[in-house]
Amino acid sequence: MALYEHIYLARQDVSPQQVEDLTNALTAVLVEGGGKVTKNEYWGLKSLSYRIKKNRKAHYSLLNIDAPAPAVAEMERQMRINEDILRFMTVRVDELEEGPSAMMQKRDRDDDRSDRPGGSRGGFGRDDRGSRPPRRF
């Protein structure tokens, strides 16, 4: 079976409990298709960098999946129908990572970098050319 990382974004006005139910429902679809979910991470309600379907925030969930492709395709089909799901992305990986992902570790690393001068985008900002000029044709 193939390994996948799957992230989906749920609408901001659903409750975390509903997101959990949704994850369980999607897991059930995968199990029915002969797969399994090895890790389930809920990242919480995070603000988006830009508006997606009129939403400024979204509930993020990460699933590590070990399932055959038809099961994943069926799950994605159902996600497209569900209006609570704003967006999803499935990435095929060679190996699934153990332990919490970079997103969950982020808070610890914020602390040990706080003593550094400058922002997170220190190095290369000066060389920016600005926005693209309008196209001629």
Using CB under 8 A as the binding rule, the residues of this chain from 9 to 68 that contact other proteins are: 9, 46, 48-50, 52, 58, 60, 62
Alpha helices in 60-116 (DSSP H): 69-81, 102-113
Q: Where does this chain touch other proteins (CB under 8 A) — which range of 16-24, 27-35, 69-77, 99-107?
A: 99-107
Who's near 27: CB < 8 A, 6+ residues apart?
A: 37, 40, 63
Locate the DSSP E strands across the chain: 2-10, 36-52, 55-67, 85-92
Q: Are 59 and 25 in contact (CB under 8 A)?
A: no
Closest CB to other proteins among residues 83, 125: 125
Binder among 7, 14, 45, 69 for other proteins (CB under 8 A): 7
CB 102 to other proteins: min, Å = 4
Give least dist CB 124 to other proteins, A.
4
